[in-house]
């Protein structure tokens, strides 16, 4: 790999070397070139496509594979528990960690500004690129190949979740972290109503983002009501 004019120049040969080092039998090299092309580089080159569409596809494939894994591994757990486990695996932090382990940042094509600001080490850039690679592999070799790779890459964290080594984040924490990382704002909770006698109250809570209600929930305590509202918001919003 050569550095020229502040940009990484990635040849097809180098892209293939990366993929083959990870055990991927490449058929359509162009897909992987696109997966490694950040939007900043595509903008500078004008004629090139970025990895954003492949990232969109890879995100969906990744969620499906991890959902299927937990669905089969935990036959008696509720939908809510499975959803929490999946989020503790499929998130920016874990994606970026895996991307660093396979040195993915070394192969990314970044624009000059993104390169100078340390884009190759940014968690968001790395996480998006890994999802794009998954999307490329899915299109190139199909679901089974993508599934096999995902399980192999995520095996340590999947095992940790199964053993209970990683405490599961609750919905309020998940919603806060996601809102903060994606739009830089925190959700706000408010108890809006109380029902029932003093010894057996039920509370209603709402959660707002940008002063807009994004979830409503009920619970036997204020804390439970807020968790319920956070879950409703989490399940209704597309992050």
- Determine the Cα–Cα distance for residues 123 and 99; give it in Å rounded to an integer: 9
Q: 188-195 and 202-209 as β-strands: parallel, antiparallel, unpaired?
A: antiparallel
Helix (H, G, I), strand (E, B) or coil at 21: helix
Which residue, chain included where needed, has tokens 């396979």? 102
- Cα separation, 179 vs 234, in Å, equals 10
> Is position 131 annotated as part of the catalytic site?
yes
Distance, first Cα to last Cα, the chain: 35
**Given 55, 59, 114, 226, the catalytic residue:** 59
d(C-alpha 220, C-alpha 204), whole Å: 9
Q: What share of the chain is helix, strand, coil (3-state, %, to 5)?
A: 60, 15, 25
Whether residue 128 lies in the annotated active site: no
Nearest to 41 by CA among 97, 92, 103, 116: 116
Q: How far apart are CA 64 and CA 67, in angstroms?
A: 5
Catalytically annotated residue among 34, 55, 131, 226: 131
Sign, Cα dihedral of 149, 153, 155, 158? negative
DSSP string, 50-109: -SHHHHHHHHHHHHHHHHHHHHHH-TT--HHHHHHHHHHHSSHHHHHHHHHHTTGGGG-B
- Residues annotated as part of the active site: 59, 131
């Amino acid at each position: 790999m050569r550095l020229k004019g502040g940009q990484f120049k990635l040849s097809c040969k180098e892209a293939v070397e990366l993929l083959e080092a990870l055990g991927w039998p490449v058929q359509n090299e162009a897909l992987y070139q696109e997966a490694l092309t950040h939007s900043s580089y595509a903008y500078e080159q004008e004629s090139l496509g970025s990895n954003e569409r492949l990232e969109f596809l890879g995100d969906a494939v990744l969620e499906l594979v991890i959902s299927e894994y937990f669905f089969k591994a935990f036959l008696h757990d509720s939908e809510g528990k499975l959803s929490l486990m999946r989020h503790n695996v499929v998130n920016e932090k874990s994606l970026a960690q895996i991307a660093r382990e396979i040195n993915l940042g070394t192969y990314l094509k970044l624009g000059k500004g993104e390169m100078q600001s340390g884009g190759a080490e940014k968690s968001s850039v790395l996480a998006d690129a890994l999802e794009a690679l998954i999307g490329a592999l899915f299109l190139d070799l199909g679901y089974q190949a993508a599934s096999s790779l995902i399980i192999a890459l995520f095996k340590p964290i999947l095992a940790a979740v199964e053993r209970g080594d990683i405490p599961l984040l609750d919905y309020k924490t998940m919603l806060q972290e996601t809102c903060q990382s994606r739009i830089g704002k925190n959700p706000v909770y408010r108890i809006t109503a109380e029902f029932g006698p003093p010894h057996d109250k039920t509370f209603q809570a709402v959660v707002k983002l940008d002063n807009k209600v994004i979830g409503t929930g009920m619970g036997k305590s204020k804390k439970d009501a807020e968790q319920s509202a956070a879950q409703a918001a989490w399940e209704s919003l597309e992050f």
